[in-house]
Amino acid sequence: MPDTVVITRPAAQAGPLAASVAALGLPVHVLPLLEIHALEGEQLDALLAALAQLQRHELVVFVSPNAIDCVFAHLPAWPPGVPLAVVGEGSRLALAAHGVTDATALIHRPAANMPSDSEHLLQALDLPALRGRRVLIVRGDGGRDFLADALREAGAEVSFVTAYRRAPPVLTPAMRATLEQLLQQNNDWIITSSEALRGLLGLLGEIDLANGDGQHGIVAKMQQQHLIVPHARIAQSAQALGFVRVTLTRSGDAGVLAALQSRA
């Protein structure tokens, strides 16, 4: 059994999973590895302009709960008749929190027994019906182009709008102390983003640089920790980054919790 289960989601999304892990009787530490920042200036102007034109689109795709929350910070209600698409259950719940449900809008998402990812969202869409239609993808700054490329290949007119900025946390003295303490233990790290994992190694690399450590430094300690990841793409990234203990689960919190129960 691990000393601690480390949840690395952004703070706004970490609570429900942390509560579920604690209900299993496991110690939990929430360590957000991506910070979500509101837009300013020209990026905010572009978002507001896109939101004013939502009804011009035949489909609006949200790639994450953060994208939904940041949009609804500027949108009092979803325009009637505009279909939506989401990748996973977390995004469906985020929509519901803003009053958008299957009863009030057409929401496309992967089938219940399928992984929560872009590939399976595509299987849930009527791609021929989107030929020549406008599709808006709402996301953070940057991200994969897989979904957009597939929609364009199907003949859709795809555009993007940025709803928030992502950034790794700054290596403050408190963050450094937390990381050093965690890496004295044998933990399970729940990693739900390749970007977050790369950011973590960047923080640890700063510590190694400050300490003058090389291959036996804190980065090497992290690479020996056990990672629990809900998608094959993240598992591949972890292995490419030198992690040797990676458990791939079913998508969603249920898969992660099942993996923790199995280890316990």
More confident residue, 182 or 211: 182
The class level of CATH for 37-166 reads alpha beta
The answer to whether 84 and 108 are in contact (CB under 8 A) is: yes
Q: Among positive and negative, which fits the CA dihedral 42, 71, 145, 130?
A: negative
User: What is the model's pLDDT at position 153?
Assistant: 95
CATH 3.40.50.10090 for domain 5-34+170-263: yes
Burial class (CB in 10 A: 0-12, 13-18, 19+), 231: buried
Per-residue model confidence as pLDDT tens digits over 107-156: 999 887 777 778 889 999 999 999 999 999 999 987 668 899 999 999 99
The answer to whether 139 and 67 are in contact (CB under 8 A) is: yes
User: What is the model's pLDDT at position 119?
Assistant: 84
Per-residue model confidence as pLDDT tens digits over 195-245: 999 999 999 999 998 888 666 689 999 999 999 998 888 999 999 999 999
Q: CA dihedral in degrees (135, 141, 146, 151; nearest 10)?
A: 10
The answer to whether 68 and 95 are in contact (CB under 8 A) is: yes
How far apart, in Å, are the Cα atoms of 101 and each of 97, 104, 213, 233?
9, 5, 52, 29
pTM of this prediction? Answer: 0.81
Q: Which DSSP symbol is given to 7?
A: E
Per-residue model confidence as pLDDT tens digits over 5-58: 999 998 888 888 999 999 999 999 999 999 999 999 999 999 999 999 999 999
Over 90: is that where the pLDDT of 184 sits? yes
User: What is the model's pLDDT at position 216?
Assistant: 67
Angle, CA of 115, 167 and 100, to the nearest 5°? 50
Angle, CA of 127, 129 and 133, to the nearest 5°? 95
The answer to whether 133 and 59 are in contact (CB under 8 A) is: yes
| Among 143, 163, 166, 167, residue whose Cα is nearest residue 72 | 163
User: What is the model's pLDDT at position 113?
Assistant: 74
User: What is the model's pLDDT at position 1?
Assistant: 52
Asked whether the domain spanning 37-166 has the same topology as the one spanning 5-34+170-263, the reply is: yes
Per-residue model confidence as pLDDT tens digits over 49-71: 999 999 999 999 999 899 999 99
Q: Among positive and negative, which fits the CA dihedral 153, 154, 156, 159?
A: negative
Domain boundaries, the chain: 5-34+170-263, 37-166
User: What is the model's pLDDT at position 253?
Assistant: 84
Burial class (CB in 10 A: 0-12, 13-18, 19+), 233: middle
Q: Among positive and negative, which fits the CA dihedral 221, 223, 227, 229?
A: positive
